[in-house]
Structure 1
């Protein structure tokens, strides 16, 4: 029986959407593994390292080169949109207003896990199979360290919506910290990807982008909101192309295209809806595309050991850094733990970051797999650790309020 490429493509889509949904719904994993995390795990399971190893004939029958190429095209556009939205959601004005608190917290929350995970990466340098053919030692160490230190702002927003703290003062503080970390992440990525042989191209792109940003911001505020969405997408594609042409990678351009856009130019409900629909409709294809890049060529045990070491360093570093910031800023008891665990959410942004390092051959597929496992583990820990701490803090606050009311003198 002859099966066309389009039929194989549709079979792949059925698998991509049905398998994670069934695992999530039947397994009732929402508490510790939301659907987006299940989709990432399923992508790993459907990749060559698991499905391709257990059932190679079925794997190669479905995921042929034409099907994989088609899925990659959708995945590229999905992640470009997602990174653009992440750039738009950065509230730099709010962060600047609270710059001392935000700077101290974001600085320690990023620097401490970066340092600890970089030390793990230095240890990985002693063994073959981790560094890509185009990667230098400093790029590998800095790249792995930063990948472990990131916070996934879009997933953080989803988690805080779930916990009903997004629009509360604590949630807005955490958003500021995550926003500043996001800026640092993309700045470091641009430094890692700096190609001194093409530095002229990259300088030309940055100059052109600065001029384009000025004109774009002047233009878009004069347009009706319905037109702003369309013009924003044109700017997105143009910036992504320019960054890729300069050797910085198209996702760097996508993030820059979002940063120059003020979130207040768009309806917040529509922006939330767009993010949710991108996650629902096309990001699952990106997760599968990510899973197709997972490998275990250095050995499954070595990959899991590296992932475990990176996970311990990332979690410990983030919590330590936030607790140091809490001591300096004299936070209330319990706040540092809640903030530290929420900033552990890595999933999407870390995967995007690691994908770029893999595309540029700075890391190998084995390092990518270890980082992916680390990100999944870190993200899955977030909700189970935060829920009881948040409940305890709320109970303590209610108890304090009741005692304060009871202590008030009764008027005659």
Structure 2
């Protein structure tokens, strides 16, 4: 994105119409290619997000910028990237609200599944995090010179430990696992993994941005705890009482006033987490958790804006993440070797950790292998972590690119692994997989 940042920064103030033209041009390119490659990814049994991330990589300096530098500069570098950044972050905040609504914590209350889910979640976090930290310490002198080793290695560990619940949920549905015991354990383990991953990311971000000040970090975490306590103990009951009193209109969708109030709560919550010093998108996630028990509201919100978020906002974020990566920067054998090491360590760490946890939780060997494959799905959450680390200056550009490659590869391994393992469990995979 360095080339984009060097664009005409004065255009925004001098000519709003000119900025609008180039923003629309970028959106046409992003949405068209993201939908096309997302469709292609689905045809070969991959999550749509894989195609959308690849679309961003192809539109960026990795391919488009090399094939036609002049046209690439015209489309993506004539104006400041700020409008694209803002849209991607607004969309990501709304998406995290939607993800928070989708968490089904009731699975964790099932006695038969709770132990397996907890053990799988613990294993799928602990081993990859440790491997990521060790790899971060080992790679820092070669890949991240000048960046403090502690926050760098902690961000690498967090990136290794994360699992993408939205992508995993879609895979479970399309592979016919959503209503099975194994699917319930997988989504519960992923939900617990994500909650722990968010808390880990919050702690790492607070630790890094506080510049190693224990007092500053303690205050930040204290304010975060107060915010969560007020949100869950005060805001959640109030919101549920208000929703319970609503007379829902016939037909799908939310009433305009309810939608407006929802957006206000999401944005205010995001502003509060920003003021605490964490990041805005976490505020959206917390508001989603607050309302997720009201199934009528959740269903109507999905009907009103759910598809728009996935079709418009999500490709912008995926493409923006891809635009920041430059595969051409991996220009020697040593960097490709580091890329292979990162992909291998992330894959083995997550898979082996989830497998070991699942076995300790009582699952048989083949079911544990399935859990290892499912928990390796990173996608969106991985990109959130590395974008935060990159924007904060704790992940250098080349490592950012390597981690984008890792996110794509590890997510792409899930489908083939399931096709091999599920039939051995006697599970029939539905035709026309659309993950």
TM-score range, shorter chain: 0.7 to 0.9
Instruction: Report the alpha carbon displacement of residue 230 of structure 1 after superposing the two structures with TM.
Output: 4.1
Which residue in the other structure is 1:15 paired with?
29
Matched, 1:170 2:182: yes
The answer to whether the 8 A contact 2:22-2:79 is kept is no
Which residue in the other structure is 2:322 paired with?
291
Structure-to-structure mapping, 1:1-80, within 5 angstroms: 4-25=18-39, 30-64=43-77, 66=79, 68-80=81-93
**Which stretch has the larger CA shift, 211-220 or 349-358?**
211-220
SS in 1 for 2:138: helix
Q: 1:392 aligns with which of 424, 430, 434?
A: 424
Which residue in the other structure is 1:347 paired with?
379
**Which stretch has the larger CA shift, 365-374 or 57-66?**
57-66
The answer to whether the 8 A contact 1:47-1:293 is kept is yes
**Which stretch has the larger CA shift, 191-200 or 31-40?**
191-200
CA distance in 2, matches of 1:34, 1:201: 36
Matched, 1:183 2:195: yes
What TM-score do you get using the length of structure 1 for normalisation? 0.86
CA distance in 1, matches of 2:116, 2:74: 55
Instruction: Report the alpha carbon displacement of residue 121 of structure 1 after superposing the two structures with TM.
Output: 1.8
**Which stretch has the larger CA shift, 268-277 or 54-63?**
268-277
The answer to whether the 8 A contact 1:296-1:303 is kept is no
What residue ranges of structure 2 are gaps of 5+ in the alignment? Answer: 1-14, 249-253, 429-435
The answer to whether the 8 A contact 2:162-2:193 is kept is yes
The answer to whether the 8 A contact 2:61-2:328 is kept is no
The answer to whether the 8 A contact 2:125-2:350 is kept is yes
Pair 169,189 (structure 1): closer, same or farther in 2 beyond 3 Å: same
CA distance in 2, matches of 1:24, 1:254: 25
SS in 2 for 1:361: coil
Q: 2:125 aligns with which of 78, 100, 110?
A: 110
Pair 233,303 (structure 1): closer, same or farther in 2 beyond 3 Å: farther
CA distance in 1, matches of 2:235, 2:162: 29
The answer to whether the 8 A contact 1:298-1:366 is kept is yes
The count of aligned residue pairs is 391
1:149-187 Cα offsets, whole Å, 9 max, x none, are: 211000101111111211222211111000000011111
CA distance in 2, matches of 1:48, 1:353: 22
SS in 2 for 1:126: helix
Structure-to-structure mapping, 1:315-326, within 5 angstroms: 315-326=347-358
Instruction: Report the alpha carbon displacement of residue 298 of structure 1 after superposing the two structures with TM.
Output: 5.8
Pair 384,269 (structure 1): closer, same or farther in 2 beyond 3 Å: farther
For the aligned residue pairs, the C-alpha RMSD in angstroms reads 2.7
1:65-99 Cα offsets, whole Å, 9 max, x none, are: 63622221211111111122222222334314444
The answer to whether the 8 A contact 1:72-1:289 is kept is yes
CA distance in 1, matches of 2:184, 2:144: 38
CA distance in 1, matches of 2:282, 2:427: 43
Instruction: Report the alpha carbon displacement of residue 148 of structure 1 after superposing the two structures with TM.
Output: 1.6
What residue ranges of structure 1 are gaps of 5+ in the alignment? Answer: 397-412
The answer to whether the 8 A contact 2:101-2:291 is kept is yes
1:288-314 Cα offsets, whole Å, 9 max, x none, are: 211222246864345443332121112
Which residue in the other structure is 2:411 paired with?
379
